Amino acid sequence: MEPPIYLDCHATTPLDPRVLDAMLPYFQEHFGNAASHSHVFGLQAKAAVDRARGLVAKLIGADPSEIVFTSGATEALNLGLKGVFEAARRKGDHIVTVATEHKAVLDTCLELEGRGARITRLGVDALGHVDLEALADAIDDDTILVAVMAANNEIGTLAPLADIGQITRRAGVLLLTDAAQAFGKIPLNVEALGIDLLAISSHKIYGPKGVGALYVRGHDPKVRLSAQMHGGGHERGMRSGTLDVPGIVGLGEAARIAAEEMASDTERIGSLRDRLESRLLALPRTQRRGDLAARLAGNSSVTFSYVPSSTLMMQVRDVAVSSGSACTSADPSPSHVIQALGASKEEADWTIRFGLGRFTTEAEIDRAGELFEAAIGAIRGASPRWEVANRGGVDAGS
C-alpha cells in the first residue's frame, strides 16, 4: 500500500519540522504569559512574541507595531471589516468588495448589511479579475473601505493590488486585503501596494493552526478600528486575550523560512503544477480555471466535463484534493467562485482544486496524474451523457 498523497495545500499545509522545533520550548520550558512583565518567565515569552512580530512585519514591509496577532485570517478579516465599519460610521457606511472573495469576507459583509452597511459586490471576468474601472466607479462619497483578496483560494488568480491601491489612495478610502493564500508565497509590500489592512494565517505557510495576524496601518493614514474582543487591552487594545506564544513563535518561524525560500519554492512547485496540468489538460473536454499567468504557483483548478467532483474524489481516495474552499465544505452547493467566472452550476460541480506545496514530490504528481486519468476514464465510460457528448451529439442536460 502506497501512502496517500496530499494535494490540498490551499485548505491547510503540513507543519514544517523547523517550525515545530522553534515552537517546542514555549510549551514547557518557556511557558510564561507574554503580558506578565514583572518576571523572567513573562519577559522570555514577550521577547519571543516580539521577535515573531518583527519577522511577520518584515515579510510584508510593515512596522512590527502594526501587526495584531489573532486566531487566524477569519478573525483578522472580521476585525478589519467590522472594526473599520464601526469606527467610521460618521464618515460613511459603504463597503466595496468582490463576488469571488472568501466567505470570511462575504459573510461578514452580509452581517454588516444587517447592521446598516451598504455593500457593493463587484463581478469578475472569466479569469477571476475585477474590472478596475468598475471598482473605481463603485466608490462614492460614503465609501469607507474596499476589500479585495490578494490571491484567490480556489483558482489562484492574483489581484493587481498595486493598481487597486492607487484607486483607493486617490479616492481616500481604505484597502483591506485577504492575503491568507498569498502571504509567504508571493512578494507583498504594504507600502508599495497601498494596503491599509492585511489578513494572514499561519497554517497556509507551514505554520500551526489557530494563529494569524492583521496588519493595521499606523500612519498616512493611521487606521482606526473598533475592537471586537475586550478584556485586558492586549495587542494595543485591538484584540484582547492571552497570546498563544507557541503558535505565534511558529508563525514567526514560518514567515522567516518563507522569506528565505519563497523564490525557490515558487519555481519548484510551479514546475510540478505544470507537470500535472500537462497530463490532465490533455484529457478531452477539460478546462483550467483562473488566470494562467497571474496565479499562485501551487494552484490548479480544473473542470472535468461530465465528471461530478464528489464522484471523482470518492474514486481517487488516495489523493487529497478539494472541490472548493475547505471553509465552505459544510455547504453542498457548487463553488460561488467558479460560477462567478461565468460557469454553470454543473460546471462548478465538475471542478477540482489541486493545491501543491513545499513537500509535494515529482513521484506524487506522477502517481496522482495516473490515478485521476484512470478514474476520469472510468466515470466517463459509464456515463450516457459523456457518450452522447463525445459523439458530437447534443446533451440536453449540459
Where exactly are the structural domains of the chain? 5-11+262-386, 17-257
Rounded alpha-carbon distances, angstroms, from residue 348 to 137, 307, 327, 369: 30, 11, 17, 21
pLDDT band for 327, please (50, 70, 90 cuts).
Answer: low
Identify the helix (H) or strand (E) that includes residue 286: strand 286-289
351-355 and 299-304 beta bridge pairing = antiparallel
pLDDT at residue 36, as a whole number: 94
| From 43, 320, 327, 388, active-site residue | 327
Burial of 382 (0-12, 13-18, 19+ CB in 10 A): exposed
pLDDT value at 321 more than 90: yes
* Residue closest to 65 by CA, chosen among 223, 181, 241: 223
Determine the pLDDT at residue 396.
43
* CATH code of the domain occupying 17-257: 3.40.640.10
How do 67-70 and 299-304 pair as beta strands?
unpaired
Average pLDDT, the chain: 95
pLDDT digits (tens, 9 = 90+) for 199-238: 999 999 999 999 999 999 999 999 999 999 899 889 988 8
CATH of domain 5-11+262-386: 3.90.1150.10
Instruction: Give the mean model confidence (pLDDT) for residues 54-63.
Output: 98
User: Does the global pTM surpass 0.85?
Assistant: yes
Cα distance between residue 253 and residue 287, in whole Å: 38
Q: pLDDT tens, 330-383?
A: 556 789 999 999 999 999 999 999 999 999 999 999 999 999 999 999 999 999
With residue 207 as reference, give the H or E element that holds it.
none
Kindly compute the dihedral angle of the four CA atoms of residues 262, 174, 166, 68, in this order, to the nearest 10 degrees: -20
Please indicate whether residue 327 is annotated as part of the active site: yes
Q: β-strands 212-216, 197-201: how paired? A: antiparallel
Mean pLDDT in residue range 76-94: 97
pLDDT of residue 393: 62
